[in-house]
Chains A and B, each alone.
Chain A
């Protein structure tokens, strides 16, 4: 597991935005810009989708990324692949070491299955995305576009016999992942409000978004 700190100074960032747990963040990151998600208090999961700003039908593809890099974990050097086989972003700094792209996002519907039918009305990541696509129609996204996402800061190992486990997070307060955009991308983050599993220590917390122009 490789980690690498960034040389970029937060003081030089052109954008700094705190996203509270249970909120979404959507914006365009331009080709050549560097984009950081900072885990402010530790053990937070940032459920993230990327779309080509030119054509949102081209989007982050978990399966293409997993297959093309030959690994289920995302980390330093991972190229995040689109559904058209293009590199969308590359992870250029990472103080965590491993991120998940298997586990998907919490949804009120899947919470009924995973935990209890009565969890149906608890706030979940998919609800944040639904609000995002409803409130921000200028990005041209709908439920059709909400697909298999990245969970930055989450740790989901696969066992030898084909099991899936949700292990302790490797993140901690102040850890971050940083990536350089290789095309203009729409970034859609649900800062996970999950209260039912330890992915954010039963205590959803804020993350900070930073963007550098060069």
Chain B
């Protein structure tokens, strides 16, 4: 693990958080007990209309899954962050997030009055709570990343949720290439077949890391990413807004 850890915290299952990452910091997520799912959205704090774009991310790297070497793109052709380490191998970016009705149908009602902090929070409400803190709302929701979860696709296009994709102590680390507002939750993946509400926590390490070098794996993993890094450089020069 490169870089120095500034802050380390455990985020229990069914919770949410948001924060702004500077360029050349990293977020390392570790699955504490196996089977975690972390929903995540990304925005540019200097222009909140710039946000994570799943289709651009997937098509420009000709990939359906996210893993080490991938870059996560905004809708403005820039790279919010790069996946620099990954012991999991497959992260989902097309299944969206759990909703109140999905959670209620699968695992029972969301009830703070009775359950206190063990209420069965859902991903969409968690996102909306965090988004509202920045003046954002339903119109700003986008297709989100689901770290740690694998959705396979058959030849006929059918989805399959793969259980056991992430094991205890599996990790993913993302390095931020520009200042980025991160919105996250640890609510269950909407396709998780678990019988009981899966309380799956993660450890989050916030780190200072060196900038990507000219021979950086993510920069070189595809020619597209090389151009994405140039777009970020233009942005930081003030020519890319």
Contact = CB atoms under 8 A, between A and B. Distances in A.
Question: Are A and B co-members of a single complex?
Answer: yes
Interface of A: 56-58, 61-64, 66-67, 70-73, 83, 85, 98, 102-105, 107, 109-114, 116-117, 126, 143-149, 156-160, 162-166
Nearest to A141: B139
Contact of A83 (B67, B138, B153): B138
A64 B97 CA distance: 8
B201 interface: no
A162 B139 contact: no
B158 A85 contact: no
Nearest to A143: B49
B205 interface: no
A37 to B, nearest CB: 19
A113 B73 contact: yes
Query: Which of B53, B75, B158 counts the most A-chain CB atoms under 10 A from its CB?
Result: B75
A67 B59 contact: no
B169 interface: no
Interface string B33-66: 0000000000000000100011110111011110
A164 B59 contact: yes
Contacts of A165: 62
A73 B53 CA distance: 19
Contacts of B196: none
B216 to A, nearest CB: 16
Among all A-B residue pairs, the 7 with the closest Cβ atoms? A104-B55, A63-B96, A109-B77, A162-B65, A73-B157, A158-B153, A71-B157
Contacts of A144: 49, 139-140
Contact of A109 (B49, B75, B138): B75
Q: Label chain A's interface by main secondary structure.
A: loop
Given A109-B75, A144-B49, A144-B139, A104 B95 contact: no
A70 to B, nearest CB: 5
16 contacts: A56-B139, A57-B137, A63-B95, A64-B96, A66-B95, A67-B190, A70-B158, A70-B159, A83-B141, A98-B157, A105-B55, A107-B75, A109-B76, A114-B59, A117-B231, A146-B75
B48 to A, nearest CB: 9
Interface stretch (B17-25, B170-178, B207-215, B222-230): B222-230
A107 B57 CA distance: 13
A162 B150 CA distance: 10
B191 interface: yes
Contacts of A157: 155, 157
B143 interface: yes
A61 B157 CA distance: 17
A103 B159 CA distance: 17
Given A109-B77, A114-B224, A102 B64 contact: yes
Nearest to B95: A67
A148 B95 CA distance: 12
Nearest to B77: A109
Given A67-B190, A162-B90, A114 B55 contact: no
Interface in B74-90: 75-78, 90
Contacts of B49: 143-144
A163 B152 CA distance: 11
Contacts of B115: none
Interface in B109-152: 137-144, 152
A157 B139 CA distance: 29
A158 B142 contact: no
B220 interface: no
Contacts of A104: 53-56, 59
Query: Which of B54, B64, B191 counts the most A-chain CB atoms under 10 A from its CB?
Result: B64
Contacts of A63: 54, 94-97, 143-144
